[in-house]
Amino acid sequence: MAEPNLQEVHDFLVGLAQQAATMIISANPSTVDTKKNSSDLVTETDKAVEDLISKSLKSAYPDYSFLGEETAKSGRLTDSPTFVVDPIDGTTNFVHAYPYISISLAFAHKQKPLVGVVYNPFTQNLYTAIKGQGAFITAPKIPDSFPREREQVESSYEKRKLPLRSPPPALPDLSHAIVAVEYGNERAGNNWDCKINTFSALGRDKSMGGAMVQSIRSLGSAALNMCSVAKGDIDVYWEGGCWAWDVAAGWVIVEEAGGMVVGGNQGEWTPKVDGRRYLVLRAGAGREIVEEFWSKIN
**Pick the catalytic residue: 24, 88, 103, 130?**
88
Closest CA to 95 of 24, 7, 21, 144: 24
**Pick the catalytic residue: 46, 50, 70, 86?**
86
pLDDT confidence of residue 177: 98
pLDDT confidence of residue 156: 84
pTM, to two decimals = 0.92
**Pick the catalytic residue: 46, 50, 69, 70?**
69
- Is residue 239 flagged as an active site residue? no
Contacts of 48 (CB under 8 A, 6+ apart): 23
Give the chain's length: 298
- Alpha-helical regions (H) of the chain: 6-25, 44-60, 91-95, 190-203, 222-231, 244-256, 287-295
H or E stretch covering 85: strand 82-89
pLDDT confidence of residue 50: 94
Quick check: 253 and 115 in contact, CB under 8 A? no
pLDDT confidence of residue 148: 57
- Is residue 88 flagged as an active site residue? yes
Per-residue pLDDT in tens (0 to 9) along the chain, 298 residues: 678 899 999 999 999 999 999 999 998 876 677 776 765 677 889 899 999 999 999 999 999 999 998 888 787 899 999 999 999 999 999 999 999 999 999 999 999 999 999 999 999 999 999 999 999 999 998 766 555 555 555 568 899 999 999 999 999 999 999 999 999 877 888 888 999 999 999 999 999 999 999 999 999 999 999 999 999 999 999 998 899 999 999 999 999 999 999 999 999 999 999 999 999 999 999 999 999 999 999 8
What is the DSSP code string of 232-273?
TS-SEEEEES--HHHHHHHHHHHHHTT-EEEESSTT-SS--T
Contacts of 90 (CB under 8 A, 6+ apart): 98, 100, 101, 102, 220, 221, 223, 224
Using DSSP's 3-state secondary structure scheme, residue 62 falls into coil
Quick check: 105 and 117 in contact, CB under 8 A? yes
pLDDT confidence of residue 142: 72
- Is residue 70 flagged as an active site residue? no
- Is residue 91 flagged as an active site residue? yes
CA–CA dist 3, 220 (Å, integer): 35
pLDDT confidence of residue 204: 97
CA–CA dist 181, 225 (Å, integer): 9
**Pick the catalytic residue: 46, 50, 89, 239?**
89
**Pick the catalytic residue: 43, 45, 82, 91?**
91
**Pick the catalytic residue: 182, 246, 256, 274?**
246
